[in-house]
Chains A and B, each alone.
Chain A
Amino acid sequence: GENVEQHPSTLSVQEGDSAVIKCTYSDSASNYFPWYKQELGKRPQLIIDIRSNVGEKKDQRIAVTLNKTAKHFSLHITETQPEDSAVYFCAASSAVSGGSYIPTFGRGTSLIVHP
């Protein structure tokens, strides 16, 4: 099955700095890579996703890059703000029977943005 590794486990930055979280996956069939943000005690929420036919996707201060050859993908947050503080999970998945995607999650990165 799929195995997703995520680094670092904790990332501490100053407000305004950039933050980068990296993930690797093992299954070359994976073709959908969502990123979730989970604030303390709350539900995971999708913040950005990328499909395998695209190498990069950007949404305001958030960008994701994908290298299918190397089987790694990264989340980039620019101009970090204290409200970006949360746990971020990467995930990798491929379409399964019936057409849904079952993500395998990484272990999460706790991002702390200091004012």
Chain B
Amino acid sequence: EPEVTQTPSHQVTQMGQEVILRCVPISNHLYFYWYRQILGQKVEFLVSFYNNEISEKSEIFDDQFSVERPDGSNFTLKIRSTKLEDSAMYFCASSEYFGTSYEQYFGPGTRLTVT
């Protein structure tokens, strides 16, 4: 069964540094998402992406964040000037066009630790 993949599995960075988290969505999916989950808390939506542009974003997704689909397979989340409170698990997800299925398939996550 196809799966969403993410790299790296764990990223440690110093406060103020930039990080790029990478995701490869399922190949025939058209919607892509980023979520974060602070340890022990609920999953929070960051941004959705469709047709090469952001379709929705939350209040969390401020100017510090950006997303990109640089080629036909990768979907990236860039965090500029990381802060301690950015430490969390970041999940990428993808879904088919909603007319066929609403299910979002999550990747295994990247644990970001900002020191």
Q: Which of B12-20, B67-75, B102-110 contacts A (4 or more CB under 8 A)?
A: B102-110
Q: Which residues of chain B are near A102, meaning CB under 8 Å?
A: 33, 45, 48, 56
Residue contact A105 to B42, C-beta cutoff 8 Å:
yes
Q: Which of B53-85 contact A (CB under 8 A)?
A: 55-56
Chain B nearest Cβ from A112, distance in angstroms: 15
Residue contact A97 to B106, C-beta cutoff 8 Å:
no
| Number of B residues, CB within 8 Å of A | 25
Chain A nearest Cβ from B81, distance in angstroms: 26
Determine the interface band of chain A, counting residues with CB < 8 A from chain B.
20 to 34
Chain A nearest Cβ from B100, distance in angstroms: 11
Residue contact B98 to A99, C-beta cutoff 8 Å:
yes
Residue contact B42 to A100, C-beta cutoff 8 Å:
no
Q: Which residues of chain B are near A95, meaning CB under 8 Å?
A: 98
Residue of A nearest to B45 (CB): A102
Q: Which residues of chain A are near B106, meaning CB under 8 Å?
A: 43-45
Q: Is B99 an interface position by the 8 A CB rule?
A: yes
Residue contact A97 to B102, C-beta cutoff 8 Å:
no
Question: Which one of A34, A43, A106, A108 lies within 8 Å of B102 (CB-CB)?
Answer: A34
Residue contact A100 to B43, C-beta cutoff 8 Å:
no
Residue of A nearest to B111 (CB): A41
- Most B Cβ at <10 Å: residue of A45, A51, A105, A106: A105
Q: Is A74 an interface position by the 8 A CB rule?
A: no
Q: Mark A38-58, 1 if CB is under 8 A from B, else 0.
A: 000011111001010000000
Tell me the bound Cα distance from A91 to B42 in angstroms: 10
Q: Which residues of chain A are near B50, meaning CB under 8 Å?
A: 98-100
* 20 sampled A-B residue pairs with Cβ under 8 A: A32-B102, A36-B43, A44-B43, A44-B106, A46-B103, A51-B102, A95-B98, A99-B97, A100-B31, A100-B33, A100-B56, A100-B95, A101-B95, A101-B98, A101-B102, A102-B33, A102-B48, A103-B45, A103-B104, A106-B42
Other contacts beyond A36-B43, A99-B99, A107-B42: 12, CB < 8 A: A43-B91, A44-B43, A96-B48, A99-B50, A99-B98, A101-B102, A101-B104, A102-B33, A102-B45, A102-B56, A104-B45, A106-B42
